[in-house]
Amino acid sequence: MMPLLKRLALVVPTVFGVLLLTFLLVHLVPGDPVEVMLGESATSADRGQLRAELGLDRPLVVQFSDYLGKLVHGDFGTSIHGHQSISALLAVRFPATVRLALLSLSLALMVGIPLGIVAALCEHRWPDRLATLAALTLSSMPHFWLGPLLMLVFALWLGWLPVSGMESSTAILLPALTLACGLTAILTRMTRASLLEVLSDDFVRTARAKGLPEKTVILRHALRAALLPVITVVGLQLGSLLAGAVITETVFGWDGVGRLLVESIEKRDYPVTQACVLVIALTYVLVNLCTDVLYSRIDPRIRFAA
């Protein structure tokens, strides 16, 4: 319990560092939200008045202190442009990202792990070569290229799925498939490599010497030990997916945290940008912490470092 509490305590400086860097970056990059809101024809007096109303005329140290004070009380602030509660925006956008991430992960697990098992059991034969080729091909396709390609084939040519948006229940399939392809390639290669390493261990030979069926040896003994590095990859990738698939959500018009982050950067909406990055950082850290806990459940020999 104590090591776990120590790990949780490390979350605080990590998140603080993310908040500080994000705050400095969004305020130091070129662009002024006041000019975006009022346009180039606004007078200097109007700009000064709006900047004072938004609190942007105060020193950065004061603005950051006020921001931290609100966060301590669970207040993400208000959007500069829409004057909406950021908590309400995140309450709508984050579940959409969670649905997309979980479906993508499910598709990748259903394809990647079985494909990796087949590749390992058929090492140096045509199923192995085919699976390796498929994994290399999928891993080399960036999302900003694969997304429009799937959209062109399944939405425009075949007409099976909607192009973008969230109006249809099937609209989630194309962005989920786009994200799942790269993760499937990673899981296939990791499962193959890990299982090949385990199959040569003594406990696998002992299980076979006892006369256990090959299916039992593979699924109940070898695969369980081989899943440890795979779980690490799954945890890292799930953290990335939940953090917001920025490119994919933007391409497909999926109203998740990733697209909200892009919109806030374009509008120079500082509070929304900071809130999105905070949610991304917390999600990534907590998912990795859960991965460590799952590690110890699968293999009791593994414990948290003190």
Domain map (residue ranges) of the chain: 32-75, 93-298
Sign of CA dihedral 285, 183, 100, 106: negative
Distance separating alpha carbons of residues 164 and 159, to the nearest angstrom: 12
Per-residue pLDDT at 109: 92
Tell me what percent of the chain is helix, strand and coil, each rounded to the nearest 5: 75, 0, 25
Per-residue pLDDT at 210: 82
Q: Which two tokens stand for residue 164?
A: 């973008």
Per-residue pLDDT at 306: 41
Q: Closest by alpha carbon to 175, among 250, 264, 260, 91?
A: 250
Residue 215, C-beta contacts closer than 8 angstroms, at least 6 positions apart: none
pLDDT by 10-residue block (mean), the chain, 306 residues: 67 83 80 68 72 76 86 82 84 90 92 91 89 88 86 88 85 91 90 87 81 81 81 79 77 88 84 87 82 68 51
Per-residue pLDDT at 129: 92
Amino acid letter at 110? M
3-state secondary structure of 184: helix
93-298 homologous superfamily: MetI-like (1.10.3720.10)
